Amino acid sequence: MNWGTTMPSAHSTLLGRITIDPDVRFGKPCIRGHRITVQEILEWLSGGASQEQILADYPQLEAEDFLAVYAYAAELAAERRVSER
């Protein structure tokens, strides 16, 4: 696969699944207009929950939503460094 030509298009499509509405969850990035935030999904995953567990608990989510969360996190990571502790 040639990532140089396919990734930006796929990346942009995935990021379109992330919505920000000031009237929903105080403007935090959410999945496709639902009230489930990117932050919550990342916290569940980093806490040990699997994608399958999260999908079982939140059937309105789709497998591609996780890719969107990862794409969004990658964008944030590219913009700034995590402070050392």
Residue type at position 6:
T
In a domain, 31, yes or no: yes
Report whether 66 contacts 41 (CB < 8 A).
Answer: yes
In a domain, 18, yes or no: yes
In a domain, 46, yes or no: yes
Residue located via tokens 């990117």? 38
The total of structural domains in the chain comes to 1
Report the pLDDT averaged over residues 3-8.
51
pTM of the predicted structure, to 2 decimals: 0.80
Structural domain including 41 reads 3-79
Taking 60 as the threshold, does the pLDDT of residue 3 lie above it? Answer: no
pLDDT of 41-53, one tens digit each? 999 999 999 999 9
pLDDT of 46-72, one tens digit each? 999 999 999 999 999 999 999 999 999
Report the pLDDT averaged over residues 13-27.
94
In a domain, 85, yes or no: no
**CATH number of 29's domain:** 1.10.10.10
In a domain, 84, yes or no: no
In a domain, 51, yes or no: yes
In DSSP terms, 30 is beta-bridged to: 19, 37
